[in-house]
Chain A
């Protein structure tokens, strides 16, 4: 019966060993499937290349050298790829003056693979790290000043966007997360200029992001914001709602006399 008799600690030992191996295996696997943005693996680059050849090369060229339908991607860096693909701007929905955001066509892993592949072509601005996007210590007032000096002339002081020439637009920033804003600043997509670290330091960029986050809170101490479009919607409102209500009142007062 000795075979049947187990040491009282055996159950615990089995549990410890079982949990330990599962945990270690999980840690190993998860480290593989979710690499840090800056770390790229050979398989990821390989996967990215495959995705690029299937989905992007018809416009950007088999070697990403560019062509009549799309620009060269050599040296644009992973930040540009992540910005364009994760916001759905690429692949292009339709040819036009500007790529517009839509539901992304690639999932996170595929986007990361594409970015990793393009980053191998030549050095370029990289996807920002978590640390670079941490705005908890950023100076919001400085960010506001920089925002009004560098961003407001296109995106508006309210960050709701504005018109550029020939149908191009500076999009609203109200739905953009920190990473997207950062990548836009370093990669300068479409009509936007590049704000390299020599122009705006990392701290400056963090300040700007912090200020945009402040705008995104949409605290409107004065009441309904009317889309933050300024005097245009205010004027429409006073004629339609304001004067409309007063004329109804005037008709009512006039009619009571009869």
Chain B
């Protein structure tokens, strides 16, 4: 059976009056893009500085694509051994791979090459930093809640891919640092039980380092991962368009609207301008500050290693985890299980990324919340989530800092052994402490918000009455802040279901709902309720009375 489809091209009704109109009409007659473009350009975005963190990541990615393309024109990912004869004298006559010698050529002999390399590397650090901080913003404001869970998972995938992509780039120049990094990566692959050795041999095409891996890594770095990244970023952005951007609570902002500016002209100008700010700052840093001086590290040979071998910052937490883990190994039937690598490099990251990706569902299950959320939470209004976030962040930060334990030891004249033990203890002690402290701070801030709603803000003006009494004058808060504070939604934790039904028969399904209710109570039991309308009215009345009283006291004082 055939289906008829209407032509999307509708003939222009009237002839356009201007030249620009004529061009637009010409394009529209062929692409029928006018209505789509109009919808696109009229799209409204809310305004907040933290909504631009994702943009920094996007722009860094564009800078990476552009600078990376320039580097591909000269970089040669070959492990063929050559004798260096370029302009960097201290390496003249040294045997090295073509990969390393072409990196040196880019740094010293290609016009603008060193600047381009530094732009590429700094932009990579920027990219992962911006992705991470953007993730924190989305997490702490609850922007991952329904209907945006899928986009959260895409974001998590983007982060994992960004880490892999960065590590691949770090490994390509074949200098002493990158080779050491690859050696560790190979060790991690080998630590996978049963299949590890086979997988490593398959990836490297034989024994480490071999000659096959570098060209393979190059294809992965310049084609495979960037392609997937580009595709996922596109989906990520289309979903933001389609689902609309979230916004912070405020006057006139509801779950069903978006208050802000249209994409054209305001956001075109803002975002376009911001791109140039990001580009400008990246180039400025790249022009002024050295990054990864590969010529100092020398070519990679498996027999050499340098003190202070560190990965780029975003792999630092994995390095730190490996540095903190004691040298546990077990031998089973002649096979060694390297827990010292398996735990920090595979099990812990596996758990961390799984928990990260699944978090929207974990929280939704605990709350039983099936509603859509387009208004963001202020972090203080979701104390348990905020505390969980800070707890994870502290855990992560201790791992990152441990990755630099040798640099810290030298810089602060400390013993590396003591630092390592200190961090081992902190890794288990500090996160729970951070959880409790953060939660208390959030609840305190909520109480302060309630105080503001009920009694107004403290003006700092103290009045001393003739009787000797002191009064501080409170004034009501503004409408905008009031709307923001009142937007807090109180969540009532799920009640514990009874384990037996009304006839005293054990309910087999109760166990699951009891677990869920317990989680829900853990999340929300100490929630501080927002003042009710009646309380607010009474407080307003009381405040008015107090203000009136204060004013009459003032008059009394003045008349004396």
Contact = CB atoms under 8 A, between A and B. Distances in A.
Interface residues on A, range: 35 or more
Contact of A223 (B270, B288, B309): B288
A258 to B, nearest CB: 8
A231 interface: yes
A13 B100 CA distance: 72
B92 interface: yes
A167 B304 contact: no
A8 interface: no
A231 B133 contact: no
A215 B297 CA distance: 11
A160 B410 CA distance: 10
Nearest to A160: B308
Interface stretch (A31-39, A113-121, A238-246): A238-246
B312 to A, nearest CB: 5
B302 to A, nearest CB: 11
Interface stretch (B47-55, B193-201, B374-382): B47-55
B281 A249 contact: yes
Nearest to B290: A222
Contacts, number: 203
Interface string A210-240: 0100110000111111101111101111110
A27 interface: no
Contacts of B290: 220-226
A211 B306 CA distance: 15
Interface string B30-53: 000000000000000001111111
Contact of B306 (A141, A153, A166, A245): A153
Nearest to A238: B125
B311 interface: yes
B281 A148 contact: no
A232 B400 CA distance: 10
B285 A241 contact: yes
B307 A153 contact: yes
A163 B129 contact: no
Q: Is the interface of B mostly helix, strand, loop or mixed?
A: helix
A257 B270 CA distance: 9
B266 interface: yes
Interface string A26-55: 000000000000000000000000000000
Interface in B408-426: 409-410, 413-418
B94 interface: yes
Contacts of A199: none
B46 to A, nearest CB: 10
Q: Which of A170, A211, A247 has the most CB of B within 10 A?
A: A247
A125 interface: no
Contact of A163 (B47, B312, B409): B409
A161 interface: yes
A251 B91 CA distance: 46
Interface stretch (B222-230, B271-279, B453-461, B546-554): B271-279
A144 B312 contact: no
Given A149-B303, A167-B414, A242-B125, A250 B49 contact: yes
| Residue from B89, B92, B277 having most chain A Cβ neighbours under 10 A | B277
Contacts of B332: none
A72 interface: no
Contacts of A232: 308, 310, 313, 316, 403-404, 407
Interface in A100-155: 139-142, 144-145, 148-149, 152-155
Given A163-B409, A231-B313, A242-B126, A223 B289 contact: yes
A169 interface: yes
Given A163-B307, A167-B409, A238-B125, A253 B287 contact: no
B274 A253 contact: yes
Given A225-B290, A246-B56, A250-B56, A156 B94 contact: no
Interface in B94-143: 94, 107-108, 114, 118, 122, 125-126, 129-130, 133
Given A149-B303, A232-B316, 20 more contacts: A140-B90, A141-B94, A144-B90, A158-B296, A163-B416, A166-B415, A166-B416, A170-B307, A214-B89, A222-B114, A229-B407, A230-B308, A231-B312, A238-B125, A238-B129, A242-B125, A249-B278, A253-B49, A253-B273, A257-B270
Interface of B: 47-53, 55-56, 89-94, 107-108, 114, 118, 122, 125-126, 129-130, 133, 176-177, 261, 266, 270, 273-274, 277-278, 281-282, 285, 287-293, 296-298, 301, 303-313, 316, 403-407, 409-410, 413-418
21 contacts: A144-B94, A152-B176, A152-B305, A156-B308, A160-B308, A165-B416, A166-B415, A167-B417, A169-B410, A224-B290, A225-B290, A229-B308, A230-B310, A231-B312, A232-B316, A238-B126, A242-B126, A243-B129, A247-B49, A250-B53, A253-B273
